[in-house]
Amino acid sequence: MATLIASGERKHVVVLGAGPAGLTATYELLKHDVPVTVVEKDPLQVGGLARTVEHKGYRFDIGGHRFFSKNEEVEGLWTEILGDQMLTRGRLSRIYYRGRFFAYPIKAANALWNLGPVEAVRCLASYARARIQPVKNPRNLEEWVRNQFGWRLFSIFFKTYTEKVWGISTKELSADWAAQRIKSLDLWVVIRTALVPGRKSGRRGEIVTTLIDRFRYPRLGPGQMWERVAEISAAKGHPILLGRSVEKISHEDGAVTSVTTRTADGGAETHRGTHFISSIPMRELVAKLEPPAPERVRRAADSLSYRDFISIALMINRADVFPDNWIYIHDPGVRVGRIQNFKNWSPDMVPDQSKTCLGLEYFCFEGDGLWSMKDPDLIALATEELGRLGICSAAEIFEGVVVRQHKAYPVYDDSYQEHVAVVRDYFATALPNMHLAGRNGMHKYNNQDHSMMTALLVARNIADGSPLDPWKVNADAVYHEDIRVGERDGTGRLVPERVSAS
């Protein structure tokens, strides 16, 4: 294997992607005086999935981004970068179902009241039936949740939203996810929480994570955080190179030597480095290696899949549309999954307080019917659905814009862990100066704090040889020495998985 750094050669790191992971690594490397080149395919802005898009003075996220972490170092970093620009916000998010708003997290009294006496009695009867005659050994999500809440409550509060997000029937999703994720929210806990004001703990005293009711948020949206890091990097002589899509990753004698990027006008540039950090999707990273990776590595990378996402921002000529930060749309009659009200995240997300900007979120797969619709048709769909939900009329909407987001969610299917392990081990052994970090970079369906922590560790490994392994950062962004890499390792957020064939 080649010596990675020729004697006397200065370290120089090439970072692929300027999202939270790439920019956190950059920020940390610059603290250690290690020079960096950051290449980002977006021609206009940094921030990746956590960017804030601006349209005629209205700012919106690709999905609302709460800043909340159990990792104090990450929380500290956010404060260090943005100081008093970080707001602390109260959380209000409700569920919308058939013309009514339900408290989220679900409160028993509120739910029964909203359902009305007839439906409430039906739900209680269905709950009683489920307790008396539970499905033995529930295998799919539908059976598991039905056992806990009864079929009627399941169909109102779980079925439609889960199916919108994952694009799969709840009968085909494994029960494991629900069993671990919803365990502390069984109906008795919900009733106790409703009856005892201020009570927030689940069984064994743990905080029920879905009940967190305060979070931080940059005054101008999450993109402000990453735009600030880009400014700091530029001020230190390392401007982020926008509009550079990684086309080729060259390697020789067991080390990556350079990355070639292409600009929209077809211009190619080659960036040489001693170390490389990739936060671009694993599947793309492997496909761009030259010479190509061994076939089994290419096959593993090609097997990784993603769920995509469309955000449609509509500007409304009304000051107050609803008080929530966001609303989950469980109503089966519309395709929208969630609606954000960005003004309620921060008032400065709109240029005029007499107006509102809503973000309607549609979960999809690249190339499916929704993804392929023309922008005016998507805006018409979103407008029509807002009207159908009774949120506002078409006449009140004066502007709309569509943002399509490729690879918003890395998919956790039956075999993703094996495939990720093949790719990870290949880079660790065959090309160890290429380090993987971040969400799609490591194929981990996690929040910004996790992406940032993995990037911090990678940057420190390069800067001063720190031995911490980024694959041992768990879903809460906390480093866990005892995680056995490559097993069902607990470093990814739990998501529903398909029922296994056995």
Ligand X SMILES: Cc1cc2nc3c(=O)[nH]c(=O)nc-3n(C[C@H](O)[C@H](O)[C@H](O)COP(=O)(O)OP(=O)(O)OC[C@H]3O[C@@H](n4cnc5c(N)ncnc54)[C@H](O)[C@@H]3O)c2cc1C
Write out the residues near ligand X by the rule CB under 6 A: 16-22, 39-42, 48-50, 62-66, 245-246, 279-280, 284, 309, 408, 438-441, 446-449, 451
Both tokens assigned to 205: 């005293």
CA distance 61 to 52: 5
Q: Smallest distance from the beta carbon of 169 to ligand X, in angstroms?
A: 22
Residue type, 308: D
The burial of 198, by beta-carbon neighbours within 10 Å (0-12 exposed, 13-18 middle, 19 or more buried), is given as exposed
CA distance 98 to 93: 17
Q: 291: cis peptide before it, omega within 30°?
A: yes
Q: Smallest distance from the beta carbon of 127 to ligand X, in angstroms?
A: 32
∠ CA 234-269-31, nearest 5°, is 30
Q: Smallest distance from the beta carbon of 481 to ligand X, in angstroms?
A: 23
Cβ atoms < 10 Å from Cβ of 137: 7
Q: Smallest distance from the beta carbon of 253 to ligand X, in angstroms?
A: 25
Residue 19, φ and ψ in degrees, nearest 5: -90, -170
Residue 261, φ and ψ in degrees, nearest 5: -115, 160
Residue 45: half-sphere exposure toward Cβ, Cα within 13 Å:
16
Q: Which helix (H) or strand (E) holds 287?
A: helix 282-287
Cβ-based nearer residue to ligand X, 182 or 242? 242
Residue 390 to residues 60, 100, 266, 330, 458, Cα–Cα distance (Å): 22, 10, 48, 14, 49
Cβ-based nearer residue to ligand X, 139 or 216? 216
Determine contact, residues 457/466, Cβ cutoff 8 Å.
yes
Cβ-based nearer residue to ligand X, 160 or 440? 440
Determine contact, residues 283/324, Cβ cutoff 8 Å.
no
Residue 310: strand, helix, or coil: strand
Residue 331: strand, helix, or coil: coil
Q: Smallest distance from the beta carbon of 201 to ligand X, in angstroms?
A: 23
Q: DSSP readout, 420-443?
A: HHHHHHHHHHH-TTEEE-SHHHHT
Q: Smallest distance from the beta carbon of 71 to ligand X, in angstroms?
A: 11
Q: Which helix (H) or strand (E) holds 275?
A: strand 275-278
Strand ranges in 62-135 using DSSP code E only, listed in sequence order: 86-90, 93-97, 100-104
CA distance 396 to 355: 10
Total length of the chain: 502
Closest CA to 487 of 417, 416, 415, 410: 417
- First-to-last alpha carbon distance for the chain, in angstroms, is 44
Closest CA to 174 of 416, 461, 499: 499
Closest CA to 474 of 71, 64, 177, 65: 71
